[in-house]
Structure 1
Amino acid sequence: MDVVVLLGIGLLTGLTTVAFGFGGGFVTVPVVVWADSALGPEAMRVATATSALVMVVNAGFATAVTPRRVLAALRGSGPLLPLLAVGAFAGALAARLAPAGLAHWAFVGYVVLTVADVLLRPGFLRPRHGDAPHEEWSTPRPLPAFLGAPVGAVAAFLGVGGSVMTVPAMRRAGHSMGVATALANPLTLAVSLPAAAVCLVSVSAPAAGDARGQLVGLVDVRSAVALLAGALPVIALLRRRPPRIPDRVHAWGYVGLLVVVAVAMTVVVP
């Protein structure tokens, strides 16, 4: 039954990858914590590792099928991608050493803070004073490269791809939700590649004696395969026929999904 649930969640992961640039992290982590709840507190380590691998595939595929004219908006960001990767490597190593419960509640806390930020601070749901609506902005600003290392470190530590930080940042830099979420995928790929590499070669697999026996390093391979089987066809379909979502509705949908994820992670405590 859990494989069927994982396939269903994979469909949702594909939708969030295209619509919100999540790459799967914020949906994958809670469901893998649930699927591997028998591991106790170590389920969070396995969930973040599995999430990293899922995001590599989802974000890589989504980036490959994104129009080049959209990806061109990343020009001018300097060494942003390499700095994201360096930060992600450090964050993934830190996650291996930190107490298992710390990442769980840090995940919840960060999502709650992000929801408060986008609701209260102008630039995401509403323009800042003097700015035109997002649909009318014609000269978006590059995302500052210095954000790369801290964003990559936090994202890899929590098992997410960084979109919860990069999408609001790109909104405030002048991008519409459609462009901001599309650009989140190559940024997620830069974060998830080094994080997944660290997780796959980890020698501290917490469930070597567990009956599931499905771990490679810290990655739950069965869960990853089921999630990807559901996600990839959805990404291919929606990239070919992208949904037309009004910018404001799109932004509120992003906030709503963050709220759902925060509630899910609060309820699902291994």
Structure 2
Amino acid sequence: MIGIGLLTGATTVLFGFGGGFVAVPVVVWADAALGADAMRVATATSALVMVVNAGFATAVTPRRVLGALRGSGGLLLLLAVGAAVGALATRLAPAPLVRWAFVGYVALTIVDLLLRPGFLRPRAPVETAPAAPRPLPALLGAPIGAVAAFLGVGGSVMTVPAARRAGHPMRVATALANPLTLAIALPATAVSLVGAALPTAGGAHPHLVGLVDLGAAAALLVGALPVIAVLRRRPPRIPDRLYARAYVGLLALVAVAMLFSGA
């Protein structure tokens, strides 16, 4: 689990994934003894991991990059409202539905990125793009937040492609994904922590607080936080097109991992 945490730290900095897409399949596997409820625990635990990872990554992001979100208060508020609704829906929805929605969402995203122009094949050279991507329209906040919290994925898979298709470089689009993920993960985590733990014949699961597996979250964060600190201080120089292809490749690996997670 700590080793996977190292990976989530890298994906937080390089791809804007605060941990959700990587953490969900792993926590489903680690908590397979919970049966169908493992998916609910995974999405809740993922939200807590994203709060810490995305919050730390945001704190060490240059202020000039975060300046692109100036005036986005309405977007952030609606992201949070949508996330609270999505986290509540996860509690009520059948666990298999959440799992297959996760796989289907990732698969559709991969198809969209491969076939629709603007992501792998930018319309304009990234060198001519503005310094930071324009904020998303505020009205998109509620649906993005709801879907992201329901699946435990954070929202970067919606925001990064949108910024990329506007002609912005991957390094800027992924950096801005972290504060947007934080706005989603905070209310989702609050909803997951305050609810009742899963019942069993012998009582509540001792390693759960609400629906959050604190042991798994702690192990993931032990691995992730040092990596975030190092990569933010010394970010790797990756050619933009290779960067975009790696983003799609990571999504494909996550979809495969989820299919074989045994949930």
TM-score, scaled relative to structure 1: 0.93
| Residue of structure 2 in register with 1:3 after alignment | none
Task: Give structure 2 stretches of 5+ with no counterpart.
Answer: none
| Residue of structure 1 in register with 2:178 after alignment | 185
| Residue of structure 2 in register with 1:151 after alignment | 144
Mapped pair 1:137 → 2:129: yes
From 159, 165, 170, give the equivalent of 2:163. Answer: 170
Asked if the contact 2:197–2:208 (Cα under 8 Å) also holds between the matched residues in 1, the reply is no
Written as runs of structure 1 = structure 2, the 5 A alignment for 1:1-270 is 6-77=1-72, 79-128=74-123, 132-138=124-130, 140-206=133-199, 209=202, 213-270=206-263
Give CA-to-partner distance per residue, 1:172-230, whole Å, 9 cap, x none. Answer: 23321000000000000000000000000111424584796200000001000000000
Which amino acid is the alignment partner of residue 218 of structure 1?
L
Aligned residues: 262
How far apart are the structure 1 equivalents of 2:202 and 2:138? Answer: 43
Asked if the contact 1:42–1:206 (Cα under 8 Å) also holds between the matched residues in 2, the reply is no
Which amino acid is the alignment partner of residue 258 of structure 2?
M
Task: Give structure 1 stretches of 5+ with no counterpart.
Answer: 1-5
How far apart are the structure 2 equivalents of 1:34 and 1:211? Answer: 20
CA spacing shift, 1:211–1:205, aligned 2, 3 Å = closer
Which amino acid is the alignment partner of residue 242 of structure 1?
P
Asked if the contact 2:44–2:189 (Cα under 8 Å) also holds between the matched residues in 1, the reply is yes
How far apart are the structure 2 equivalents of 1:210 and 1:256? Answer: 41
1:269 deviates by 2.6
TM-score, scaled relative to structure 2: 0.96
**2:121 is paired with a residue of what secondary structure?**
coil
Moved more, 104-113 or 118-127: 118-127
How far apart are the structure 2 equivalents of 1:223 and 1:25? Answer: 13
Which amino acid is the alignment partner of residue 81 of structure 2?
V
1:168 deviates by 0.6
Asked if the contact 2:79–2:146 (Cα under 8 Å) also holds between the matched residues in 1, the reply is yes
How far apart are the structure 2 equivalents of 1:194 and 1:253? Answer: 30
Asked if the contact 1:142–1:173 (Cα under 8 Å) also holds between the matched residues in 2, the reply is no
Which amino acid is the alignment partner of residue 55 of structure 2?
G
Asked if the contact 2:148–2:184 (Cα under 8 Å) also holds between the matched residues in 1, the reply is yes
How far apart are the structure 2 equivalents of 1:17 and 1:99? Answer: 29
1:159 deviates by 0.7
**1:79 is paired with a residue of what secondary structure?**
helix
**2:236 is paired with a residue of what secondary structure?**
coil
CA spacing shift, 1:92–1:255, aligned 2, 3 Å = same
How far apart are the structure 2 equivalents of 1:216 and 1:260? Answer: 29
